[in-house]
């Protein structure tokens, strides 16, 4: 094939570059087996145990769906060594062999621009402490073959055995641009090409068979030149051969007779609405409203059922077992430990499953359908205020429903630094559990303006997120600067039910396995502290009638003076805040318990207007020296900003590690204390 013919068929970004002459990129593609390494040594069979297979590809090409279809529940999430970048990996058995499969973050180049892309490049190249891969699975998007081929060229130049997984070919066929895997393989000089549908798992068995056949080596296509990845300067190599790769990709496209069709696709027609400067924002806000409602309203009845009926059933079963040992057996400390300690912890974990499950379902639907990428594009400009891009908006909005599923939503962010920053900001989103505290204190102190006070707390939450985000960028995330936001918009498609269910169940199990032990342990510890009498007249272990006379009450008394500058140095308030560390939902219940007031089935407004509100008002008036309203606002601000619930802390630790979780807890406490003190000291001069 002549050079001039090749350049007439140039596609994608290649048409913007000057033509290069002298390289016979369109030489016969079937020529030569280039399975030797860059130094010319012949390929030798690999060891048959624990071969390392790295999956790599551009973002949104279906790579992770394909990976999960292969491994299923055997896939496990982990951090790349020394980073917060999430990887999926797992062992795969093929005959008598065990392969180590690794799914890397999506990347457009082996010259990284972010920690995620750096991890992907290191895994493919095998440097910086990463073992060299025995084989690379390069995932190509058939709907954007030109860009995918340019990336494939870099992978092939590494000289590793390579298998091409061709995804989204069904969508390309609908647009009249289907890629023939056999023709593509011939154009690649015999590099194996397997068509795979990650949503259904179709083609994965054939892919694994081809991988097994390709460990000994695969050809190096004509027009590309192998490098020694351990000796080459990556920046010079990637940038220096860019034109050659574009020309090569254009030749491959010409060889497979694939022409770009200037036609309006189904995705293009929908995008005219969803990416519209006005209509797109309206649709996005509507979608966010539905997500918010689903994680609060839909999950609410299920949570109430677990916290009510399920708890009663299990408690009844425990009571029946204890009844076998006599009528007084249920009055001992062991019964209290099981029911009010261990069972309470288990039920707390179970109550988080409905919102987490709903959020995982919605995230999968939004991501698999292709809408999540559009949402990021629409909200990108607003999120740049804190150094994030539009994809970070979804988790923060979800955080106003519940912080826990919001942290799960950060997994959709491609940059690990963005995930950590967003995760540290989410606890400042005023979750629905805090609303009960707002309502009780608002009606206790500001009955006529209660609604305005509650609304003000949510507005202040948004301001606080922006302020803390800007502070974190300057102090901790120096390198996270706003960059031009470029991403591939995947075509719209219908998510597959079976794959979605498997993914949701795997994520839920990961949460239960990672967070349950921390939550249950801490709740048991709180019960033990409340059950240890601190005075001779307090009662016996597990039977302390007045919580103030327990070790828990003594600790609350010791902590209370810390809040004197904020106006609420009262043990009732400090005890409630301690309990709120476990779950914000129980703050009001803790106040009722410490004041020995039975609120029954009263609403938050009735509690705030009734005897509980009166008791709180009297305590705050006394502790603040007559500035109860100022102290109430300080308490509300502290509740908004301080340590998130225990389940959220456990999820922070599970996703980002203990150091980030500790820093987030510390940041919340310091911010909350400063806000409370400043607010009280200023407001006591005004109200």
Give the pLDDT score at 489: 66
pLDDT above 70 covers a percentage of the chain that reads 83
Q: Are 468 and 667 in contact (CB under 8 A)?
A: yes
Q: In this structure, are residues 169 and 193 in contact, taking their beta carbons and an 8 Å threshold?
A: no
pLDDT in tens, 229-258: 778 788 888 888 888 888 898 888 888 876
Q: How far is CA 163 from CA 16, 38, 192, 346, 596, in A?
A: 29, 18, 5, 46, 69
Question: What pLDDT, on a 0 to 100 scale, did the predictor assign at position 157?
Answer: 92
Residue 674 has pLDDT above 80, yes or no: yes
- Binding residues, as ranges, are 57-64, 68-69, 72, 103-106
| Number of other residues whose CB lies within 10 A of the CB of residue 31 | 12
Q: Is the pLDDT of residue 599 over 70?
A: no
Alpha helical stretches, state H, 188-278: 204-214, 234-240, 242-255, 266-274
Contact 159, 237 (CB under 8 A): no
- Whether 76 shows a pLDDT value over 80: the answer reads no
pLDDT digits (tens, 9 = 90+) for 648-673: 888 898 888 889 999 999 999 999 99
**6 CB-near residues (< 8 Å, 6+ apart):** 25, 26, 247, 250, 251, 254
**Binding site residue list for GTP:** 57-64, 103-106
φ and ψ at residue 127, rounded to 5 degrees:
-120, 180
Q: How far apart are CA 340 and CA 362, in angstroms?
A: 34
Q: Is residue 55 classed as helix, strand or coil in its secondary structure? A: strand
**Contact, 93 vs 78, CB < 8 A?**
no
Q: Would you call 261 helix, strand, or coil by DSSP?
A: coil
Which two three-digit tokens encode residue 484?
């031009």
For residues 413 and 396, the model is more confident at: 396
Higher confidence at residue 30 or residue 261? Answer: 261
Residue 625 backbone dihedrals phi, psi, to 5 degrees: 70, 35
pLDDT tens digit sequence for 288-322? 777 767 766 777 788 788 888 888 899 888 888 88
C-alpha 218/C-alpha 212 separation (Å) is 12
Provide the β-strand partners of residue 55. Answer: 103, 137
pLDDT value at 451 more than 60? yes
Q: What is the pLDDT of residues 516-541, one digit of tens each?
A: 776 677 778 878 887 888 877 777 77
387-398 confidence digits (pLDDT tens): 777 777 778 877
597 versus 461: the higher-pLDDT residue is 461
**Sequence-ordered list of residues with C-beta below 8 angstroms from that of 405, at least 6 positions apart, any chain:** 295, 355, 356, 358, 359, 360, 398
Which of the four pLDDT bands, split at 50, 70 and 90, describes residue 594? confident
Q: Beta 51-57 vs 135-141: how paired, if at all? A: parallel
Summarize the annotated binding site for Mg(2+) as residue ranges.
68-69, 72
Pairing status of strand 86-94 against strand 162-167 = unpaired
Instruction: Give the model's confidence band at 109: pLDDT under 50 very low, under 70 low, under 90 confident, else very high.
Output: confident
Structure tokens, 277: 């400067």
pLDDT of 224 > 80? The answer is: yes
Cα 641 to Cα 580, 668, 673, distances in angstroms: 12, 6, 9
Q: Where along the chain do its domains lie?
A: 51-256, 280-433+451-478+490-508, 515-684
CB 368 within 8 A of CB 426: no
pTM: 0.61
Residues 6+ apart with CB under 8 A from 477: 387, 417, 420, 421
CATH architecture for segment(s) 51-256: 3-Layer(aba) Sandwich (3.40)
CA separation for the pair 413, 244 (Å, rounded): 32
Cα 20 from Cα 611, distance rounded (Å): 84
Q: How many CB atoms are located within 10 Å of the residue 581 CB?
A: 19
Across the beta sheet with 86-94, the strand order is 76-79, 86-94, 97-103, 51-57, 135-141, 162-167, 193-195
Q: 435 is written with which tokens?
A: 């609303």
DSSP 521-562: HHHHHHHHHHHSBSSTTSEETTEESSGGGBHHHHHHHHHGGG
Task: Find out whether 360 and 503 touch, Cβ atoms under 8 Å.
Answer: yes
Nearest alpha carbon to residue 2 among 36, 20, 26, 22: 26
**pLDDT per residue over 156-171, tens digit each?**
999 999 999 999 888 7
Tokens of 652: 């922070």
Closest CA to 612 of 621, 602, 622: 602
Q: What distance in Å separates the CA atoms of residue 643 and residue 456, rounded to the nearest whole number?
A: 20
Average pLDDT, the chain: 79
pLDDT at 28: 37
Contact between 11 and 250 under an 8 Å Cβ cutoff? The reply is: yes
> CB of 628 within 8 A of CB of 621?
yes
Q: How far apart are CA 568 and CA 576, in angstroms?
A: 12
What whole-number distance in Å separates Cα of residue 426 and Cα of residue 651? Answer: 12
Residue 82 has pLDDT above 60, yes or no: no
**So what's the pLDDT on residue 7?**
37
% of the chain surpassing 90 pLDDT: 19
- The pLDDT value recorded for residue 415 is 74
Alpha helices in 9-157 (DSSP H): 63-71, 115-125, 145-157
């Amino acid at each position: 094939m002549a050079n001039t013919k090749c350049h007439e068929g140039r596609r994608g970004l290649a048409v913007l570059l000057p033509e290069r002459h002298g390289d016979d990129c369109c030489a016969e593609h079937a020529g030569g087996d280039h399975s030797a390494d860059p130094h010319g040594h012949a390929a030798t069979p690999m060891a048959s145990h624990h071969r390392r297979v790295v999956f790599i590809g551009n973002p949104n090409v279906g790579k992770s769906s394909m990976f999960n279809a292969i491994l299923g529940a055997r896939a496990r999430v982990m951090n790349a060594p020394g980073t917060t970048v999430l990887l999926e990996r797992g062992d795969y058995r093929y005959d008598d062999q065990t392969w180590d499969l690794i799914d890397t973050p999506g990347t457009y180049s082996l010259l990284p621009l972010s920690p995620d892309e750096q991890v992907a490049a290191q895994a493919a190249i095998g440097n910086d402490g990463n073992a060299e891969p025995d084989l690379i699975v390069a995932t190509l998007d058939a709907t954007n073959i030109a860009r995918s081929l340019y990336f494939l060229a870099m992978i092939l130049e590494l000289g590793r055995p390579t298998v091409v997984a061709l995804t989204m070919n069904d969508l390309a066929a609908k647009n009249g641009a289907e890629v023939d895997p056999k023709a593509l393989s011939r154009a690649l000089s015999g590099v194996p090409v397997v068509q795979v549908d990650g949503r259904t798992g179709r083609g994965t068995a054939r892919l694994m068979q081809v991988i097994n056949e390709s460990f000994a080596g695969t050809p190096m296509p004509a027009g590309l030149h192998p490098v020694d990845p351990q000796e080459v300067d990556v920046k010079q190599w990637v940038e220096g051969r860019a034109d050659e790769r574009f020309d090569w990709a254009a030749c491959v496209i010409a060889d497979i007779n694939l022409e770009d069709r200037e036609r309006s696709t189904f995705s293009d027609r929908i995008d005219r609405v969803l990416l519209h400067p006005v209509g797109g924002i309206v649709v996005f806000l509507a979608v966010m409203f539905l997500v918010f409602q689903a994680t609060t309203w839909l999950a609410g009845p299920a949570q109430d059922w677990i916290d009510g009926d399920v708890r009663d059933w299990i408690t009844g079963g425990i009571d029946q077992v204890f009844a076998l040992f006599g009528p007084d057996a249920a009055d001992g400390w062991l019964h209290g430990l099981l029911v009010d300690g261990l069972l309470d912890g288990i039920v707390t974990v179970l109550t988080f499953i409905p919102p987490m499950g709903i959020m995982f379902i919605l995230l999968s639907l939004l991501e698999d359908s292709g809408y999540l990428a559009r949402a990021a594009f629409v909200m990108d400009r607003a999120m740049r205020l804190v150094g994030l891009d539009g994809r970070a908006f979804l988790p923060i909005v979800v955080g106003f429903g519940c912080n826990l599923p919001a942290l799960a939503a950060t997994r959709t962010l491609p940059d690990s630094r963005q995930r950590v920053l967003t995760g540290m900001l989410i606890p400042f989103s005023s979750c629905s559990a805090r609303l009960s505290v707002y309502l009780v204190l608002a009606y206790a102190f500001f009955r006529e303006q209660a609604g305005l006070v509650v609304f003000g707390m949510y507005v202040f939450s948004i301001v606080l997120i922006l302020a803390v985000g800007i502070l974190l960028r300057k102090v901790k995330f120096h390198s996270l600067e706003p960059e031009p936001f470029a991403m591939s918009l995947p075509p719209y498609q219908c998510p597959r039910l079976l794959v979605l269910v498997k993914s949701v169940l795997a994520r839920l199990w990961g949460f239960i396995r990672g967070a349950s032990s921390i939550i249950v342990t801490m709740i048991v510890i709180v019960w033990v502290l409340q059950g240890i009498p601190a005075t001779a007249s307090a009662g016996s272990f597990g039977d302390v009638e007045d919580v103030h006379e327990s070790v828990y009450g003594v600790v609350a008394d010791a902590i209370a003076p810390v809040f004197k500058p904020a106006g609420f140095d009262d043990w009732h308030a400090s005890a409630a805040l301690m309990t709120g560390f476990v779950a914000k939902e129980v703050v009001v219940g803790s106040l009722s318990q410490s004041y020995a007031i039975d609120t029954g089935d009263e609403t938050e407004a009735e509690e705030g207007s009734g005897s509980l509100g009166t008791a709180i008002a009297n305590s705050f008036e006394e502790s603040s020296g007559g500035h109860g309203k100022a102290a109430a606002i300080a308490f509300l601000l502290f509740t908004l900003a301080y340590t998130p619930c225990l389940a959220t802390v456990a999820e922070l630790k599970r996703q980002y590690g203990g150091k980030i979780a500790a820093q987030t807890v510390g940041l919340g406490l310091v911010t909350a204390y400063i806000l409370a003190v400043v607010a009280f000291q200023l407001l006591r001069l005004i109200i």
